[in-house]
Amino acid sequence: MSFQTIFEIQQSMTVNNRRTVGQQVSRSGQVRVAQYLTSVPWVFTVMPHAYLSYATSRDIIQAIDNKDRQLPEVIQFNSSILSWFTAYKGGAATTPTTVTLGATPAPNSQTISLAGLPSSTGAIFKAGDFIMIGGYTYKITADVPYTGATATVSIHRPIIGSPVSGAAVACGNNCTFNVLAEKCPTYTLMPAPGGAFVQWDEAFVFREDITG
């Protein structure tokens, strides 16, 4: 692990998954708003904890240097430290694992059909729940009432690629993010008895690697 370790030892994490929206103010003071159709990549700005022991962090630093800003890594928030971020909040007894696409989505659609849903007490998905289709993770934008094994859900960004009916849909902590280091900072070694502590000079910035 390299980038994954940076997420695990984070001091703070800023998440950006906002749409690209333009605003223009007319001479009369009226605001005109337009959304630009983009893939809305996930961007994580992660500040690791300072003063890690260099002796125990040297292999992590080397792994980061090997990937640098060139090679991607799959990040998952399923550890005891990070599971709060993508945890499933719907009403099923456990995180659903049998969900599939109920129909082939139209290109750039933000409304999709899901099938294979388990029974649920109340909403099968809550607003903010995570699902992953074809390697790309989406957030559900509104509560989805449970009405049976199929449901129509809205997602926060246009569907990426060309997934087809029957494709597997991961939920909650089973979702992953394929990211590149947009900013891979250097570090300063602070002398200490018998070695040194690692002080990162700024935060890491990871941007989702979208190829679809």
- pLDDT tens digits for the chain (212 residues)? 689 999 999 999 999 998 776 778 777 778 877 666 679 999 999 999 888 899 989 999 999 999 999 999 999 999 999 999 999 999 999 999 999 999 999 999 999 999 999 999 999 999 999 999 999 999 999 999 999 999 999 999 999 999 999 999 999 999 999 999 999 999 999 999 999 999 999 999 999 999 86
**Domain region containing 7:** 3-82+179-208
Q: How many domains does the chain have?
A: 2
CATH of the domain at 168: 2.40.30.290
Residue 73 CB: number of other CB atoms within 10 A? 21
Judge if 108 and 123 occupy the same domain: yes
pLDDT at res. 29: 79
Yes or no: say if 60 and 197 are a contact pair by the CB < 8 Å rule.
Answer: no
What order of strands is seen across the sheet that includes strand 111-115?
A: 100-101, 111-115, 151-154
pLDDT at res. 1: 66
Judge if 96 and 150 occupy the same domain: yes
Nearest to 39 by CA among 64, 17, 11, 70: 17
Q: Cα separation of 117 and 96, whole Å?
A: 7
Judge if 136 and 167 occupy the same domain: yes
pLDDT at res. 143: 98
Judge if 118 and 192 occupy the same domain: no
Judge if 74 and 98 occupy the same domain: no
Judge if 14 and 31 occupy the same domain: yes
Judge if 114 and 164 occupy the same domain: yes
Q: Cα separation of 15 and 38, whole Å?
A: 17
Judge if 105 and 32 occupy the same domain: no
Tally the C-alpha atoms within 13 A of residue 13's C-alpha that lie toward its C-beta: 18
Residues in the chain, overall count: 212
Judge if 19 and 66 occupy the same domain: yes
Judge if 98 and 170 occupy the same domain: yes
User: Which parts of 26-158 are beta strand (E)?
Assistant: 31-36, 43-48, 52-53, 73-76, 100-101, 111-115, 130-133, 136-139, 151-154
* Amino acid letter, 20: T
